Every structure is written in C-alpha cells, then in structure tokens.
Amino acid sequence: MTIGLTGPETKSEAHGRSATLALIEPPQLSWSARGLAAAGRWLRRNQRLIQRVQWAVVLVYIGLVATPAFLPLPERTAHIWNNLTLFAQFAFWGLWWPFVLLSMIIAGRSWCGLFCPEGALTEMASRHSLGLSVPRWITWKGWPFAAFVLTTVYGQMISVYQYPKPALLILGGSTLGAIAVGFLYGRNKRVWCRYLCPVNGVFGLLAKLAPVHFRVDQDAWSRSRSAGNSGARAINCAPLVPIRTMRGGADCHMCGRCEGFRDAIELAPRSPNHEIIEVAGAVPKPWETMLIVFGLMGVAAGAFQWSGSPWYVAIKQAAAEWLIDRSIMWPLRLQPPWWILTDYPGLNDQMTLLDGAIVLLYIAAVTAIVGAAALICLWAAARSLGPWSPRPFHHLAQSLIPIAACGVFLGLSATTVSLLRAEGLSLANIGLLRGALLGGATLWSAALGWSIAGRYTSDKPRRSAAALFVALAASIGAASSILIFFVW
C-alpha cells in the first residue's frame, strides 16, 4: 500500500487538468487591454471632473464663437497670435473640425461624451425638461444625411470657414437648437445628439473604425440578471443607446458612465476593421449608404472643389455671357445679405445670385456624378457575389468609409494648411502626406471590400471581382481629392 504517492501523469490527464485550470483562471490580458480597462474605470470614477472639463470647453466655445462676430474683420497684416478673429478661425476650422473627425477614428466618439459643448448644454437643459413626447419627425432616420447636406451647402453659400458672423450663425444656431430640444424633450437624455445633430451621422460612421470600444459581455450580463441584479446600479445613457444589445461604437459617446455595469461592460481594444466587417452588415441601413456615397463622397467633395475648380469658372463665365447677351442683368447685380450669400464688399468678396446658383449647380452635379458612379460600382460588387440582395450592397458601402473620411479630413485640413502658410510656414512635404493618406485609405477600403465579400461567398473569383469593384468606387472618391490637391 502506498500513501500520498501517485504514478506519473499521463498526457490525457495533463490536458484535462490544463483545460480545467483554463476554465477557472481568467485569461491573461495584454498590457493594452489592461490599460484601456483601467482608463474606462477612471472615466466612470471621475464623472464630476469630466463635467467640469465640459463646462470649461463650453465657456471657451461661447467666447470664440460669439466674440469675433462683433469685432472688425482682421487687417491683412494680422496674425493668429495677435488677432482674436484669426485665432478663433484657426481654432475652429483649422484645428477643431478636422481633428475632431480624426479623433473619431482614433478614440471613437470620445469628443461627444467628454468634451462636446453642445452635448453638455443639451443635457443640462434636459435636466429641466418639460418632458414632452419626442415627435415622430425628430426620429426620422434620414436626419443625419439631410442635416449634414443642408449645413454643408449653406455654409458654402455664406463662407462659414472664412468669416465670424456665418460661424456664429451656424454654430450658434445649432447650439440653440440643442438647448431647445433638450428643454422640450430631453428627460435627462441627449435627444438632439441622437437624432438631429448635423454631424451625428458622420461621427457615427467614422467611429466604426476606432480601435477601442466599450465591449458588452452578454454572458456576464445574463449572470447578473439571474443573480437578482445583485450589485447593479442605476445608470443614465444620455445618447439613448440600448446598452445590453450594443455591439459597436457608432452610437456610443464613450463617456464611461456604464463601465462595469453588471460586471459586463469594459473599455477594450478591437480591430479597426471589426465593426465594419462583423457588425455593420447585420441590418441594411440605406441612409448610411446615402451619407457615405452622396454626402461624404459627393456633397463634401463638391463643397471643397468649387472654389478652385476651372470647371466652375467656365460654367459661370458661360452663364454670365448668356445673360448679358439677352440683357438679363439682375442675376449679376442683385446682392442678397450676408446670411443668404457672402457679402463683404470691403474685402472684394461678394456672391451674386448667379454665383450662388452656379455653386449649387456645381455641388449638385459633383454629388450626382460621383454618387452615381460609386453606386454603380457597389451594385456591380454586390451582384458579383450572387443574386441581387440589398444586404451585401449596403454592407459593401460601409467599406468606403475610410476613403470618404480621408477625403473630408483632407478637405477640411486645407484650411489648416492655408492658415499656417499665411503665417510663414512652408509645409513643403504636405503633398506627400496627402498622397500617402489617399493611397492608404483607398487600399483600406479595398481590403474591407475583400473581407466583407468573404462573408457572402467562398468563391475566390466572385470575391475578387467584388473587391475590385469596391476598389474602383474608392478610387472615384480619391479622384475628387486628387483634382483639388494635385491637378488644379
């Protein structure tokens, strides 16, 4: 008889013991996962500090939006560092707008949840809300597309990037709208942000590319419920996200309030391709396709192009000659006020009715041509996968987000470059950087097209054809920026 001794462990016994330990011991997290989880916990524990930061941003925002509108326009010798109007222009259109878009790709919608002044103000107003029911027209799914198009086009008509009064009108009007909606319908929620914010749709699309998100563990959530909700605390998801079923970061404002809820939610890393490939195709979203193809690749491209386009000049010249030959002079002479069309005679910057009409025509033409060409490519890509179905068509449209985002970022950052060059910076290698970004974004979109196609067919020729058509659509988007920065 042996006491306390056993024979050598067999391979099957060792494998069984390892499997048992794997079930007992939690998986080891990488340093990045541990760091993000700690950052998420920090956000949850420091909500008051975040609110103070938000109110500091609100004060700076109000000051930079409102004050320059009541100051004289800057002289030609003014600089960013000695003129508040130029400083505000650089802060908003040179830094804030392009780099907030970039932040969506890097950190999700953290701007929305941690810094956005409109979000803070609408949520503040919602705490004193009248509690009215949200009308059906507010929840219309087309608002992200419509609001983006309307504000983009109107901003071009009144030169919002160049002058402080248009900036106050558009940004201030949007802020007042956010406060009013929060006061009427809020109930401690960001109704404005969820449905009506002009950049909500764009931010949501770009956030799909972020390498971080708040991950929801469905098993942990179910265990918490089966345990009688033990330890669960009340949380307020201001942007109205259905947290339990949340699979992506398009709607999440990354505020951190829900972190640790039911021990099921944690800030975690992910592949930048994950949401586009694994989540975005679950339900077809035609309005997102419209925003990508006709909004970002169409309207935005036309808005960036027209001021430097020789085609615009030729069309306007031909139209002016046609009117003069027929003695129709009022479209050339009538000058609406600055809040309808640009009107700064002291700076020799005025738009007549003819100018405004040609700008609208140009943007509409670019939108129609680029959008239609991209849609044809997407249709061909979806058709390459088999019989027609809307699901792969709209899913493949999501693969164009990288090139659409790149085009918008480069277009907006052109203001940054112009302002810095006016201060004497040469930025000699900016062309190389732009080319690299366009090339990388085109390849990224093509790679996403290949991965998405693989979810609908295992046939290599079909999959390759679909990816090729997606790459062609992405190249159409890149061509708009190439014209602006390398041809004209």
| Bridge pairing between strands 343-344 and 212-216 | unpaired
Residue 390 domain-assigned (yes or no): yes
Q: Which tens digit of pLDDT belongs to each residue from 451-472?
A: 999 999 999 999 999 999 999 9
pLDDT at 256: 96
Q: Which tens digit of pLDDT belongs to each residue from 159-169?
A: 999 999 999 99
- Say whether both 316 and 434 belong to one domain: yes
- Say whether both 182 and 66 belong to one domain: yes
- Say whether both 186 and 302 belong to one domain: no
Q: How far apart are CA 249 and CA 110, in angstroms?
A: 10
Give the confidence band of 426 by pLDDT, cuts at 50, 70, 90: confident
- Say whether both 191 and 295 belong to one domain: no
Is the dihedral angle over the CA atoms 476, 302, 382, 395 positive or is it negative? positive
pLDDT at 126 over 80: yes
Residue 342 domain-assigned (yes or no): yes
Q: How far apart are CA 293 and CA 376, in angstroms?
A: 11
Q: Which tens digit of pLDDT belongs to each residue from 176-195?
A: 999 999 999 999 999 999 99
pLDDT at 467: 98
Residue 70 domain-assigned (yes or no): yes
Residue 221 domain-assigned (yes or no): no
Average pLDDT over residues 252-280: 96
Is the dihedral angle over the CA atoms 158, 162, 164, 168 positive or is it negative? positive
- Say whether both 84 and 197 belong to one domain: yes
Average pLDDT over residues 142-165: 97
Rounded mean pLDDT of the chain?
Answer: 92
Domain boundary among 207, 242, 261: 207
pLDDT at 95 over 90: yes
- Say whether both 174 and 312 belong to one domain: no
48 by Cβ neighbours in 10 Å (0-12 / 13-18 / 19+) ranks as exposed
Domain boundary among 207, 224, 241: 207
pLDDT at 27: 59
What distances in angstroms separate CA 367 from CA 160, 240, 409, 421, one per listed residue? 20, 32, 18, 30
pLDDT at 231: 60
pLDDT at 148 over 70: yes
pLDDT at 261 over 90: yes
Residue 255 domain-assigned (yes or no): no
pLDDT at 140 over 90: yes
Its pTM stands at 0.91
pLDDT at 199 over 80: yes
- Say whether both 187 and 300 belong to one domain: no
Residue 230 domain-assigned (yes or no): no
pLDDT at 21: 42
Give the confidence band of 10 by pLDDT, cuts at 50, 70, 90: low
In which domain, by residue range, is 360 found?
285-487
Average pLDDT over residues 88-107: 95
At 426, is the secondary structure helix, strand, or coil?
Answer: coil
Average pLDDT over residues 119-133: 96
- Say whether both 189 and 333 belong to one domain: no
Residue 140 domain-assigned (yes or no): yes
Give the confidence band of 224 by pLDDT, cuts at 50, 70, 90: confident
pLDDT at 1: 39
What distances in angstroms separate CA 411 from CA 151, 325, 361, one per listed residue? 16, 37, 20
Average pLDDT over residues 298-323: 96
- Say whether both 193 and 337 belong to one domain: no
- Say whether both 201 and 305 belong to one domain: no
Residue 310 domain-assigned (yes or no): yes
- Say whether both 289 and 201 belong to one domain: no
Q: State residue 281 phi and psi, 5-degree precision.
A: -90, 0
Print burial letters for 256-295: b (CB count within 10 Å at least 16), e (below 16). bbbbbbbebbbbbbbebbbbbbbbbbeebbebbbbbbbbb
Q: How many domains does the chain have?
A: 2
pLDDT at 23 over 50: no
- What is the rounded (10 degree) CA torsion for 462, 467, 470, 474? -160
Q: How far apart are CA 296 and CA 476, in angstroms?
A: 12
Domain boundary among 207, 225, 258: 207
Flag the least confident range among 26-30, 194-198, 284-288, 438-442.
26-30
pLDDT at 103: 97
Q: Which tens digit of pLDDT belongs to each residue from 352-394?
A: 999 999 999 999 999 999 999 999 999 999 999 999 999 999 9
Is the dihedral angle over the CA atoms 455, 142, 408, 65 positive or is it negative? negative
Average pLDDT over residues 112-134: 96
pLDDT at 101 over 70: yes
Joined tokens for residue 199: 């950049």
- Say whether both 306 and 436 belong to one domain: yes
